[in-house]
Amino acid sequence: MSGGYRQQPGGAGGTTRKDGKRVAGKQAFPPPGSGGSKPKMGPRDLDYIPESVGGKEPQPAGSHIHDRARTGTSVGKEMPLVDSNAKVTGQAWYGDDVRLPNEVIGKILRSPHHYARIKSIDTSRVEALPGVLAVATGADSPHRFGVLPVTKDEHAMAVEKVRHVGDLVACVAAIDESTALEALNLFDVEWEILEPVFDPKKGLEDADEPIHWRGKYHLSKTNVQKRVFQEFGDRSLVEKPHAESHGKWKMSGVHHGFTEPHAVVAHWDPNGRLQLYTPQQVPHYTHRALSTVLDVPMHQINVIRTFVGGGFGGKSDPFPHEMCAAILSRKSGRPVRITFDREEVYWINRGRHPSHIEVKMTADEDARISGFDIDALIDGGGFASFGHVTSYYNGVLATAPYELGSFHYTGARVWTNKPASGAMRGHGAVNTRCAVEVGLDEMAETMQVDPIDLRLANLLPPHSRTISGFRITSNGMREALEKVREGSNWDQKFRQLPLGKGIGIGCGFFISGSGLPIHWDPNRFPHATVHIQVDMDGGVTVHTGAADIGQGSTTAVAQVVSEVLALPVEMIHVRSHESDTSPVDLGSYSSRVTFMNANAAIRAALEIRERLLNAAWDILGYHPDNLVLNDRRIYYKHDPAIGVSYLKALHKAQEDKGALISSGAYRSPPMGGVHKGAAAGLAPAYSFSSYVAEVDVDVETGMIKCTNVWAAHDCGKALNPLAVKGQIIGSCHMGLGQVLSEKMVYGRTGHLQNPNLLEYKIPSVYEMPHVEPIIIESCDPEGPFGAKEAGEGPLLPILPAVVNAVYDAIGIRLRDLPLTPDVVFKGIEKTLKRSDYDDPNDLPSPRLKHSPLQATLVARAQEHKIRDKARQRTEDTSPYVNGVLFGFDPNLPLEDQVEGWRTATEPDPEQLAKLGLAGRAWLKKEQRQMGGEQ
């Protein structure tokens, strides 16, 4: 299709609505480009770049728009992160390393109650204490803030009520820490204790005093913060399944466990501007929130991102303590530093939601997946945070990588009187992914087929569309599955190992950047902007707002600029700490940074390159089309002896205007469906991964030891393979923690029992298996040099791979995460009771005898492999939508082809009685529908 690329068939004539708005998902798209001002891919000239400079490096998936920018300098080469020297020598400055002259110490008074109304706060005794310089309470800033504009429900300090133990009540700044601590004991607070709710199931019911009140949008009098219903596809397919699986999961909340506790320093400088130092993943949102809370314009605030000692999503909200420091500093006229103790870190939380997840799935007689039914009740704790998005992600991120006959999701997030849950590595996708992948294994078992073949025969191809309308571009899922199967020697091990030894598979699918920015219309502002400045010395300064939280975003930016300009990475200096000098970047979340920010950086670098080549044209007399920029030199393509040095060309280019300055931006192309919630989970590209894990289970104690992991991740193109491997191994570690030992324990009184790193059990080096990272490069057409994310997606598959391996080892399905030894032991005890065995050492191991379906699957997978190859290399550019596997024509709207095809975002009245646990939220009405608040 020469016109390029179709998001979804149909409607080629009417690409706009009557009101002028676009009809998302219906229009023909131009071929994928890198967004920005040149969204279209240029003509492909593979001979353009000489082989000697990396032009003919293997292209796993055909040519790429950035091929023209390749110089073979640094992309694809393993290199240590550019800030690693600062870190390993202890010179990196983290939040608590900032020391300003005359600083004072801030401390926060925290709620001792789960849920209480503040009747009064008397601060007179605090103020009278010598050494106290400022005191603040909720009354000092009544403005609400929150990371998402739709759910601003936080205050700097509690305004009316405290919502969990550890919630902020007041704060104090004093000359030293001991005075500040002493001052905390002098607050006189009068409380009215309210009835707390801890169980998320109770949160679905009406309460006397809901934790927040949303006015006319409040759902009855419940504690439901967000409910979601989504249904796509042909629901009649699930009615007579050939095979099915059904599992109810209980997943504990987990915390990011980053090394550096939160710390902030605020200082109102002599010009009356706020300078705020904070280890933030998302400095821009903090910037906005500070402006709101403090009632000062954004340009009067400079947010300085310090080095971040690990974030993983836990430092991506604007935080109340940041507001407290600013308020105390304004009051005291001194710089104020607040550093958290570890228990405070757990109280601010924002970790992964404790979840109740139910997954039903069905397959037809051809082992095609006819339906996914997911119900997810997630425990949000006291505040909304990112929860609005999490509520969607728990469902919609399960719509790939498999082709589905139908999809049904009900989700609800409820407030409880616990520390707030939020975004954590693999945001919203991890728990459901685990449930879905284990369900697939169970279904494979009932059909007596190999679970890898079941997956291989049901994958969506590259350049296709999911059932929910996500645009899939590059897709390395098949290769990932094949590689781990081969690497792990799967065919010789699966269902053949002795009792206590097991092997399991799991897959993952994750967004590479959120397709829509949170705060603005993507048509008006880009997602990411990068400025480049090159002065006489030849060094390149790159200004970006991207927050390096250890994932290596600064290195990625330096690498792509180095690649385009053919300069060593040491000549690229990335400045990314201050909002005063950085162009706005949305921050490090949703695995967007490499994809969006590096794309913007490439664009800015290309502009500099163009100017250098034009200058060389002036000097050499050869048109830039015939010039090659490489190795700090620009030379004539056909006679490299004719050339000019990089510095000479640079100085020539500077003659008129001085330093070269350019700006590059990235915005994602329009995409996705138009239904409510269509934007959630939308991304310009998606990563795919597949892991095989091997475990040893001690059947007498229930102890699990994960011994080996083969981890294949499709990151499009590994800009820095060393960093990608690091992310894969790190993800394994974090995911293993969640599946084996990490757990936020809430005791019988609702208190968080283990807010410390001894009792919150992050795996140690002894628990780490041997991880074999396998990088899959599917070369994404829109990614920078083909790259996609590698920071979050690699976490997803390890959980189901381990759970499936445990089943392979002992034949018991466990759905209560983490699989601590007591959980496993209980499962073994139960099985023994039901069987004739007394000794767990006599338990039978599961075995597999292939049914005739296996041959069908293998044949289909083989066909699909050929199909996928052609599509990945863009030899076949015909449209493909989810549903083709079920016999639908991708050129016609699916609704026109089958009567029952649904795209619904609200349940039908007759469905109401059949909805799952979270679905019960749909039995309630909003206040405005109840005749309450209007």
Partner 1 sequence: MLMPPFTLHNPTTVEEACEIAGMLLEKGEDFDWVAGGTDLLPNYKWHINPKPHVISLARIDGTDTLSLHEIGCMARLVDLTAENGIHPLIVEAASKVASSLIRRNATIGGNLCLDTRCFWYNQGEDWRRSIDWCHKADCGTGADCRVIPNQNTLCVATYQGDIAPTLMVLDAEVHLIGPGGLRILPLSEFYQLDGMTKNVLKKGEFLLKVTLSEESAKRTGSYQKLRVRDSWDFPEAGVAASWIAGDASTLQIATTALESIPRCHPEEVAAILETGWNGMDSVKALAMSIRKVIKPVNNTSLPPRYRKSMVRVLTKRAVEKILE
- Is there binding between residue 19 and partner 1 (CB under 8 A)? no
Q: Measure the CA–CA gap between 543 and 487, rounded to whole angstroms.
A: 42
Separation of alpha carbons 280 and 304, rounded Å:
9
Q: Which of 166, 257, 504, 513 binds partner 1 (CB under 8 A)?
A: 166
**C-beta of residue 686 within 8 angstroms of C-beta of residue 512:** yes
* Sole residue written with tokens 């509520």: 391
* Cβ-based neighbour number of residue 908 at 10 Å: 10
Residue range at the interface with partner 1 (CB under 8 A); choices 95-103, 212-220, 447-455, 759-767: 759-767
Cβ 121 vs Cβ 137: under 8 Å? yes
> At 91, phi and psi to the nearest 5?
-100, -5
Nearer to partner 1 among residue 702 and residue 916 (C-beta): 702
**Minimal distance, residue 173 CB to partner 1, in Å:** 16
Stretch that binds partner 1, among 216-224, 523-531, 754-762, 907-915 (CB under 8 A): 754-762
Q: How far is residue 29 CA from its own chain's centroid?
A: 26
Q: Are strands 369-381 and 406-415 parallel, antiparallel or unpaired?
A: parallel
What angle do helix axes 721-736 and 798-810 make, rounded to 10 degrees? 50
CB atoms within 10 A of CB 899: 8
Query: Which of residues 641 and 765 has its CB atom nearest to partner 1 in the complex?
Result: 765
**Closest separation in Å from C-beta 101 to partner 1:** 22
CB of 321 to partner 1, least distance (A): 14
DSSP state letter for 641? E
| Closest CB 111 distance from partner 1, rounded Å | 8
| Positions of E strands within 777-841 | 816-817
Residues 499-528 that bind partner 1 (CB under 8 A): none
Distance (Å, whole) CA 436 – CA 374: 9
Q: Which is nearer to partner 1, 348 or 404 (CB)?
A: 348
Q: Does 766 bind partner 1 (CB under 8 A)?
A: yes
| Shortest Å, Cβ 748 to partner 1 | 9
Distance CA 39, CA 481 (A): 32
> Among candidates 341, 433, 501, 397, which has minimal Cα distance to 799?
433
Closest approach, Cβ 769 to partner 1, in A, equals 13
Contact letters for partner 1, residues 646-685 (x by CB under 8 A): ----------------------------------------
Binding mask 337-366 for partner 1 (x = CB under 8 A): ----x-x-----------------------
Determine which helix (DSSP H) or strand (DSSP E) holds 618, and give its type and residue range.
helix 598-620
Task: Closer to partner 1 by CB, 3 or 747: give it.
Answer: 747
Min dist CB 697 to partner 1, Å, is 14
Out of 127, 486, 607, 767, which residue is the one contacting partner 1 (CB under 8 A)? Answer: 767
CA distances from 45 to 75, 625, 634 (A): 20, 12, 20
Residues 175 and 351: beta-carbon distance below 8 Å? no
Classify residue 17 by burial, with Cβ atoms within 10 Å: 0-12, 13-18, 19+.
Answer: exposed
Q: Which is nearer to partner 1, 309 or 755 (CB)?
A: 755
Angle at 209 between CA 205 and CA 215, to 5 degrees: 90
- Please state, in angstroms and rounded to a whole number, the distance separating the CA atoms of residues 59 and 326: 51
Two tokens, residue 562:
């180095």
Residue 781, number of CB atoms within 10 A of its CB: 26
Q: Is 741 in the site for partner 1 (CB under 8 A)?
A: yes
In the bound state with partner 1, the residue whose beta carbon lies nearer, of 16 and 841, is 841
Residue number, 546 or 798, with CB nearest to partner 1: 798
Give the β-pairing of 501-511 and 274-278.
Answer: unpaired
Q: Could you give the string, one character per residue 700-739, with x where binding to partner 1 holds by CB under 8 A and - elsewhere?
A: xxx-------------------------------------
Minimum distance, C-beta of residue 434 to partner 1, in the bound complex (Å): 20
* Closest distance of CB 725 from partner 1, Å: 24
Size of the site for partner 1 (CB under 8 A): 36
Q: Which of residues 97-156 bind partner 1 (CB under 8 A)?
A: 110-113
Nearer residue to partner 1 within complex by CB, 64 or 337: 337
One of 657, 758, 875, 934 touching partner 1 (CB under 8 A): 758
Q: List Cα–Cα distances, 587 to 152, 278, 306, 313, 375, in angstroms.
A: 19, 13, 14, 11, 31
Identify which of residues 228 and 704 has a Cβ nearer to partner 1 in the complex: 704
Could you give the 3-state DSSP secondary structure of residue 269? coil
884 contacts 167 by C-beta, under 8 angstroms: no
Q: Report d(CA 326, CA 333) in Å as an integer.
A: 10
For 542, the enclosing helix (H) or strand (E) is: strand 540-544
Nearest distance from C-beta of residue 759 to partner 1, angstroms: 6
Q: At its nearest, how many Å lie between partner 1 and the CB of residue 816?
A: 13
Stretch that binds partner 1, among 60-68, 369-377, 507-515, 745-753 (CB under 8 A): 745-753
List C-alpha distances in Å: 443 to 192, 312, 335, 693, 809.
52, 33, 60, 19, 18
Q: Which residues make beta-bridge pairs with 645?
A: 633
| 858 CB-near residues (< 8 Å, 6+ apart) | 453, 457
Among 143, 519, 676, 751, binds partner 1 (CB under 8 A): 751
**Taking CB under 8 A as the rule, does residue 324 contact partner 1?**
no
Residue 735 phi, psi (nearest 5): -65, -35
Question: Which three-class secondary structure state does DSSP give residue 293?
Answer: helix
> Of 201 and 826, which CB lies nearer to partner 1 in the complex structure?
826
Closer by beta carbon to partner 1, 338 or else 612 = 338
With CB under 8 A as the contact rule, the residue among 753, 831, 845, 903 that binds partner 1 is 753
Nearer to partner 1, 702 or 730 (CB): 702
Query: Which residue number, 344 or 441, has a Cβ lying nearer to partner 1?
Result: 344
Q: Considering only residues 764, 836, 910, 914, which one is a binding residue for partner 1 as defined by CB under 8 A? A: 764
Restricting to residues 810-849, name those near partner 1 by CB under 8 A: 820-822, 825-826
Q: Phi, psi at residue 105, to the nearest 5°?
A: -105, 130
Residue 493 sits in the site that holds partner 1 (CB under 8 A): no
Nearest distance in Å: CB 755, partner 1: 7
- Gap between the Cα atoms of 584 and 605, Å rounded: 18
In the complex, least distance from residue 343 CB atom to partner 1, rounded to whole angstroms: 5
Close Cβ partners of 418 (under 8 Å, ≥ 6 residues apart): 164, 198, 379, 381, 382, 746, 750, 752
Q: Which one, of 464, 469, 475, lies nearest residue 509 by Cα?
A: 475
- Residue from 177, 199, 209, 876 binding partner 1 (CB under 8 A): 177
The nearest distance, CB 95 to partner 1, in angstroms, is 16
Shortest reach from residue 168's CB to partner 1, in Å = 12
For residue 614, the 8-state DSSP code is: H
What b-and-e string marks burial along 588-610, b requiring 16 or more CB atoms within 10 Å of the CB? Answer: bbbbbbbbbbbbbbbbbbbbbbe
Residue 842 CB, nearest approach to partner 1 (Å): 15
Least separation in angstroms between CB 734 and partner 1: 15
Comparison of 114 and 155: residue with beta carbon closer to partner 1: 114
CB nearer to partner 1: give 59 or 753. 753
CB of 164 to partner 1, least distance (A): 10
Q: How far is 353 from 426, CA to CA, in rounded Å?
A: 12
> Considering beta carbons, is residue 618 or 700 the nearer one to partner 1?
700
Binding site for partner 1 (CB under 8 A): 110-113, 165-166, 177-178, 181, 341, 343, 700-702, 741, 745, 747, 749, 751, 753-756, 758-759, 761, 763-767, 820-822, 825-826
